[in-house]
Amino acid sequence: MFVRLTGCPLRCGYCDTAYAFHGGRTLSQSDVLQAVAGYAVRHVCVTGGEPLAQRGCLDLLVALCEAGYTVSLETSGALDVAAVDPRVRRVIDIKTPGSGECERNRWTNLDALQASDQLKFVICDRVDYDWARALLEQHALTRRCQVLFSPSYGQLPASTLADWILADRVPVRFQVQLHKLLWGDVRGR
């Protein structure tokens, strides 16, 4: 289950959740926990916008862990992840040049990586792919945690990225936005 928090200080060119920049509704932590419990799920992903920009996010992550959920946090990587509860799997989106927000990457987050964390690169084109591969080697990222390469929806055909990964034998996990393949580019509820 996704718990989507409103607001984000970044404006990535490929953002698929611009509706989360504003609006939403204010819920208490107990309201969120009650809503999650109503879905009878085991895994909860807190995402955004940029969840770490929201007051109360760290406390919500702890509360979800305490309630027995497997919890992950999808974050832009522009904000410090060091204070995130160690029980939470951090999925850090490293912003590629094609995102338009590459300069916002907080490189010290790499020092906080745990084996259970994931780094995600949304690849817009060959420049992004080559840039990401260079980072993998420079920081030995695939030895530190799982690394995901995902094609930017509508910009780079998934088959093209898969072919590049296979040809170069890059030890990453190929990831697509399955919900978009199944239901198209529509907002969830």
Collapse the DSSP code of 42 into the 3-class scheme (helix H, G, I; strand E, B; otherwise coil) and give the result.
coil
**Contacts of 42 by beta carbon, 8 Å cutoff, 6+ apart:** 69, 70
How is residue 106 written in tokens? Answer: 């907080």
The pLDDT value given to residue 88: 97
Mean pLDDT across the stretch 78-88?
92
| Domain interval for residue 166 | 2-183
Is residue 189 in some structural domain?
Answer: no
Q: Which residues contact 18 (CB under 8 A, 6 or more apart)?
A: none
In this structure, is residue 74 part of a structural domain? yes
What is the pTM for the complete model shown?
Answer: 0.87
| Residue 141 in tokens | 């990222």
188 lies in a domain? no
Looking at residue 9, its pLDDT comes to 62
Find out whether 69 and 44 touch, Cβ atoms under 8 Å. Answer: yes
CATH of the domain at 41: 3.20.20.70
Tokens 């199944």: give the residue: 182
User: In angstroms, rounded to a whole number, what is the distance separating the alpha carbons of residues 3 and 55?
Assistant: 15
Structural domains of the chain, count:
1
pLDDT digits 0-9 by tens, 126-162 = 999 999 999 999 999 999 999 999 999 888 999 999 9
Q: pLDDT-derived band of residue 6, with 50, 70 and 90 as boundaries? A: confident
Q: Is residue 95 part of a domain?
A: yes
Residue 126's pLDDT is 98
Q: How confident is the model at residue 185 (pLDDT cuts 50, 70, 90)?
A: low
* pLDDT for residue 181 is more than 80: no
Mean pLDDT, the chain, rounded, equals 88
Q: What are 151's two structure tokens?
A: 């094609």
pLDDT tens digit string along 10-57? 566 766 665 556 677 788 889 999 999 999 899 999 988 888 888 899
